[in-house]
Structure 1
Amino acid sequence: MVNLTVDRANSDSEMLLAALKSGESLAGVDLYDRDLSGANLCGANLSGASLIGANLGGANLSGANLVEADLRGANLQGAILQSAALQNSCLCRADLRNANLSEADLSDAKLQVAIYDSLTVWPSGFRFKNCGAVGPGAILSGAFLNTANLRFVDLSGANLLGAYLSGADLTGANLGGAGLSGANLQRAFLTGACLRDARLNGAELQGADFRGADMTDVSLDHVTSIEGADFTGVRGLGEAVRAMLSHRSSTELDSWNSYTRTTTRESLNCVSV
């Protein structure tokens, strides 16, 4: 049998092709962090395989057996998973943007914090918005997303009510129309994020980095605290909202953001209405 756990210097692609041509099973193989982008793995038996952090971007996995496979953090952008068997697989934090999962079997698959977008094709009838995955319209109320890497992720219209996003990296993320009321955004990075029409009522914003974010028509009523939050270069923040924030306590306004070294009061003087 082809040994797929030998020295990394060996070519994974060549070994996979050799195994496939000989009709061998690849069940249980260790392909941790390997680059298999664009590989033709159509119909391959990868049941129980370790594909943690593997790069499978653009790979053809149509009809593949991935039952109980570990795909945590794997890059599956643009991958073809049509009719793939993914029962009991772990796809936590996997990148499924632009992936084709039509007719795939996702029974009991774990999809917490897997990332999808509007181009991701899901199996007919699969309730992807309720599965713990992250993407437009996702239902993530009360979800624990502390320190999650959500850079440039599309979360437009998502339900993040009461979600735990402290320390999360939401740089450039699309949170337009998202419900973030009661969410914990302490020390979250929202640099350049789109927050148009987002609802942050009652949110915890201590130390949050909003530099350059679009906050047009954002709702910020009854926020718990803005102590150390940095609003430098924020666009679209209405005059009334800015005035309301500027009248918070001096304890909040004169606190430094530990990352940007700017006080909240200074940052509010550098916003675009």
Structure 2
Amino acid sequence: MNDLAIAPVEILAAIQAGRSIVQLDLYRVDCSGVDLRGANLAGLNAIGSNFSKANLSSADLSGADLRGVDLSGANLSGANLTGAYLNRSLLYATNLTDTDLTGAKLQVARYDRHTIWTAGFAYKSSGAIGPGAALNGAYLNTANLRDADLSGANLLGSYLSGADLTGANLQNTRLSGATLQRAFLTGASLRNARLNGVNLEGADLRAADLSGIELEHLSSIAGADFSQVQGLSEDLRSMLLGRSAAELDVWNAFTRQTTRQSLTRSSRPSRSHP
């Protein structure tokens, strides 16, 4: 969000004064840290804006378009977000205590362990991305999930083709039956994850942590790159190298290395873990 414009002083002054903001457009505006507690922001268009650390407590944001908005560290306690669009928004450490989220759209919004949700709200099944999320069968093809915390999430049978999971925390995540074709898992932590029956065709797993992983009945590993993976047991590596030449000798279109080369040249053996 480095290219965000600075919100005009008169617009913020009008909002803070409680004047009507019908049709107000705050597209890609920097409102970080602004104090808009109790403001009437119903129907606000703030796509892609920065409201990080803003005070929006008790504000009326019903029907607001907050797609892609950075709400990290923002105070939305007691706010009205009925029917609001929060798709792809950032909710890291956001305070949503007593917030009305009736009918709010949260698909691919990202939360973390520090997000405070209103009591009783089923955030794990809301379509949002975060620890323990219920995303079985979800369509997340090409999604930007870089550095996302999906530890303990349920992604059974999910569609993640081309998704960017670089550096993501996928510890204890259930991914069995998922489609991970051409997914980027570089540096991701997959410790104790279940990947039984997944499709890893063309996936980039370089330097991923595969300690304790379940990896059986794979659909395909053709073109997958396992260079410098950590924690891959010798048994699993041998199993992978026992796949057909039709899979092992396929080039990864991105790394320009075959699956066989990635498994024999630079894989790191498993270490013992408590």
Q: Match of 2:110, SS?
A: coil
Partners of 2:201 and 2:222 within 8 A in 1: yes
Q: Distance in 2 between matches of 1:113 and 1:136?
A: 13
* 1:85 counterpart residue number: 80
Paired with 2:60 and 2:212, the residues of 1 have a C-alpha distance of 47
2:89 to 77, 83, 94: 94
Tell me if structure 1 keeps the 8 A contact 2:27–2:45. Answer: yes
1:156-167 maps to which residues of 2 (within 5 A)?
156-167=151-162
**Which residue of structure 1 aligns with residue 196 of structure 2?**
201
Matched, 1:265 2:260: yes
Q: Distance in 1 between matches of 2:10 and 2:262?
A: 55
* Residue in 1 that maps onto 2:166: 171
The answer for the alignment partner of 2:272 in structure 1 is none
1:200-230 residue CA offsets vs partner (Å, 9 max, x unmatched): 0000100000001000011110010000000
Contact 1:28 1:47 in 2 (8 A): no
* Residue 24 of structure 1, aligned match among 19, 22, 40: 19
Q: Does 1:140 align with 2:135?
A: yes
State the match for 2:183 in structure 1: 188
Aligned pairs for 1:1-273 within 5 A: 11-269=6-264, 270-273=266-269
Distance 1:238 1:41, change over 3 A: same
| 1:17 aligned counterpart, secondary structure | helix
**Amino acid across the alignment from 2:96:** L
Mapped to 2, the partners of 1:21 and 1:60 lie a distance apart of 12
In 2, Cα distance between the equivalents of 1:33 and 1:13?
A: 12
Cα distance in 1 for partners of 2:99, 2:245 equals: 56
What is the alpha-carbon distance in structure 1 between the residues aligned to residue 44 and residue 240 of structure 2?
A: 52
| Native 8 Å contact 2:16 2:39 kept in 1 | no
In the other structure, the counterpart of 1:5 is none
Aligned-pair CA distance for 1:102? 0.5
Q: Within 2, Cα distance between the matches of 1:75 and 1:236? A: 35
CA contact (8 A) 1:51 1:71 kept: yes
Separation (CA, whole Å) in 2 of partners of 1:13 and 1:78: 23
Note if contact 1:25-1:44 (Cα within 8 Å) is conserved in structure 2: no
Structure 1 residue identity aligned to 2:194: R
Q: How many Å apart are 1:21 and its aligned residue?
A: 4.6
Q: Judge conservation of contact 1:101–1:122 (CA < 8 Å) in 2.
A: yes
Which ranges in structure 2 are unaligned for 5 or more consecutive residues?
270-274
- Preserved contact between residue 15 and residue 40 of structure 2 (Cα < 8 Å): no
Q: CA RMSD in A?
A: 1.2
Note the alpha carbon deviations across 1:72-102, whole angstroms, 9 max, x for none: 1111111111111000001011111110101
* 1: CA distance, partners of 2:70 / 2:157: 29
Residue 14 of structure 2: SS of its match in structure 1?
helix
Deviations along 1:146-194, one digit per CA (max 9) or x if unpaired, are: 1111111100000000000000000000000000000000000000000
Q: Structure 1: which 5+ residue stretches go unaligned?
A: 1-7
**TM norm structure 1:** 0.94
After TM superposition, what 4+ stretches of structure 1 lie above 6 angstroms from structure 2?
Answer: none
TM-score by length of 2: 0.94
